[in-house]
Amino acid sequence: MIKYLIVAAVLFVIYIAFFKKTAIKEEKEQKNKDKKNSGDIMIECSECTTFVSESEAIIKDGKFFCSKQCANLR
């Protein structure tokens, strides 16, 4: 009977350890997702100093611009 209890206890510990690992992994993945969604890098426009997200910025001659208008001014 004690043997079964030990086996059950070991299985329980393994189950808890596995479950915790999975939970932490999911939490990390969730944090990474949040970073990707909200952590868009803001870049200052070289012309009018307006901040635009990296995905919307226009790169010209190694400088960042908020719009085509600003990019064409120089």
Kindly list the residues in this chain that would bind Zn ion in the complex (CB under 5 A): 45, 47-48, 50, 66, 70
Q: Is the dihedral of CA 48, 49, 50, 51 positive or negative?
A: positive
Q: State the minimum distance, in angstroms, from the CB of residue 48 to Zn ion.
A: 3
Nearer to Zn ion, 43 or 45 (CB): 45
CA angle 41–42–45, rounded 5-degree value: 140
Q: Least distance from C-beta 70 to Zn ion, angstroms? A: 3
Nearest to 46 by CA among 32, 58, 28: 58
Minimum distance, C-beta of residue 17 to Zn ion, in the bound complex (Å):
53
